[in-house]
Amino acid sequence: MRKLLSAALTAGVAVVVLAALVGAGTSTTAKAAKPSAPSITSEPFGSVGGTDVYRYTLTNSSGMVVKILTYGGIIQQVWVPDKRHNLENVALGFATLDDYVTSGNSPYFGALIGRYGNRIALGTFTLGGNTYHLPINNPPNSLHGGFIGFDKIVWDVTQIQHSSHSVGLVLHLFSPDGDQGYPGNLSVFVTYTLTNDNEIKIDYRATTDAQTVVNLTNHAYWNLAGDGSGAIYDHVLTLAADHYTPVDSTLIPTGVIAPVVGTPFDFTSPTAIGDRIRDASSQQILYGRGYDHNFVLNSGGSMTPVLAAHVWEPTSRRTLDIYTTEPGIQFYSGNFLDGTLIGTSGKLYRQGDGFALETQHFPDSPNKGIK
């Protein structure tokens, strides 16, 4: 089934849990602070088209820090301790607003994605007897909502949440009928919550006044060894997915649900990300220049978040777990980072310097009749 809205409410939840397997040892690097209670602050971060942009800093009682921009709802930085309690940023991003706004080939670092995450073939779909045409921003397809997707909009902050266990904020965006070719007026609320258990909870909710399609996600890039530390190929990944959706040369799913067993896409047991990327015998790997594929989660979607992915980085011993209510997850190994972008660390991002795990309904599902 497709992600369809018809004058109704849709909701989705993703939970990102970051931790470190603590070991012995000493270091001269700054240690993670441990505030007595969670806190949230804000500061100006420039402006876009005359609209002010703010950066919100969420800190939990364990010292984990998450920085979120109102521009694109972007998770700009995530600071977590390693095995020796050293604090490092593990999310890829830019240091300035101008870098996000002027990036010619946007990698969507940390951004909220909509109306429709991932690719729609030839930028066209039919719904309710009408054919809709979307911007072709990833030729020959439409990607992540078009040229001006939700990642390029300044969201409103409608609520600040604070308790003894967590802090958060609610972002709101209104997308009018016809926005980037999509039908229906759409109102979107996204709640970011940081808990004392080092969880980043992302709760998506949307309503519409007409039949439409929607697929909301977040495009955070991760490097658990630290931003700017190099390639993520030694990170060990496990996915709760026995199947994936093979793609054509334009990265549109063929419509086949294929088993991962015996292929480079088998992450049902812990496997280093780079182990099979250089497998030139796999046409699927060649199409994506690595991994840029949707995995079919064994849960099939759930009313409550279910574990979809586990990642472990052996040097820092940081771990990342992703839980979701969605039926799919897009695993992207940073294949199109090409050394032209400078990150918050001041270093160039090269191919494989970060990975993304985007919880979602399947790419091109408005045309395929699959999830």
Each residue's pLDDT tens digit, 35-60: 678 999 999 999 999 999 999 999 99
- 303-335: b (≥16 Cβ within 10 Å) or e: eebbbbbbbbbeebbbbbbbbbbbbbbbbbbbb
Long-range interactions of 178-182: CB distance < 8 A, separation 24+: 179/115, 180/115, 180/134, 180/135, 180/145, 180/146, 180/147, 180/148, 180/149, 181/123, 181/132, 181/133, 181/134, 181/135, 181/146, 182/115, 182/116, 182/132, 182/134, 182/212, 182/213
Distance separating alpha carbons of residues 343 and 350, to the nearest angstrom: 10
- Residue 358 annotated as catalytic: yes
- Residue 310 annotated as catalytic: no
CB 126 within 8 A of CB 364: no
CB 42 within 8 A of CB 56: yes
More confident residue, 303 or 268: 268
Angle at 218 between CA 130 and CA 316, to 5 degrees: 155
Element (H, E) at 265: none
User: Is residue 29's pLDDT more than 60?
Assistant: no
Among the listed residues 7, 47, 9, 13, the one whose alpha carbon sits nearest the alpha carbon of residue 303:
13
Choosing from 88, 144, 199, 219, the catalytic residue is 219
Distance separating alpha carbons of residues 43 and 55, to the nearest angstrom: 5
User: Is residue 76's pLDDT more than 80?
Assistant: yes
What's phi and psi for 161, nearest 5 deg? -110, 140
On the CB side of 165, CA atoms within 13 Å amount to: 3
Distance separating alpha carbons of residues 350 and 370, to the nearest angstrom: 34
CB 214 within 8 A of CB 332: no
Output the six-digit token pair for 4: 């369809």
Distance separating alpha carbons of residues 301 and 15, to the nearest angstrom: 14
Among the listed residues 62, 112, 98, 90, the one whose alpha carbon sits nearest the alpha carbon of residue 345:
90
CA torsion angle 13 178 170 2 (round to 10): -10
Scanning 277-330, the segments in alpha helix (DSSP H) are 283-288
Q: For tokens 């190929």, what's the residue?
A: 233
Biggest distance spanned by C-alpha atoms of the chain? 66
* CATH code for position 106: 2.70.98.10
Q: Which of 103-112, 118-127, 253-262 has the lowest mean pLDDT?
A: 103-112
CB 205 within 8 A of CB 10: yes
User: Is residue 7's pLDDT more than 90?
Assistant: no
User: Is residue 5's pLDDT more than 80?
Assistant: no
CA 254 to chain centre: 23
- Cross-strand pairs, 86: 31
Count of CB atoms within 10 A of residue 67's CB? 22
Choosing from 88, 313, 326, 358, the catalytic residue is 358
Domain span at residue 107 reads: 4-368
Query: Please, which pLDDT band fits residue 138 given cuts at 50, 70 and 90?
Result: very high
Angle at 350 between CA 226 and CA 237, to 5 degrees: 55
Q: What is the pLDDT of residues 194-247, one digit of tens each?
A: 999 999 999 999 999 999 999 999 999 999 999 999 999 999 999 999 999 999
Q: What is the pLDDT of residues 271-330, one digit of tens each?
A: 999 999 876 689 999 999 999 999 999 999 888 999 999 999 999 999 999 999 999 999
Q: What is the pLDDT of residues 57-68, one digit of tens each?
A: 999 998 999 999
Query: Please, which pLDDT band fits residue 28 given cuts at 50, 70 and 90?
Result: very low
Distance separating alpha carbons of residues 133 and 152, to the nearest angstrom: 20
Number of domains in the chain: 1
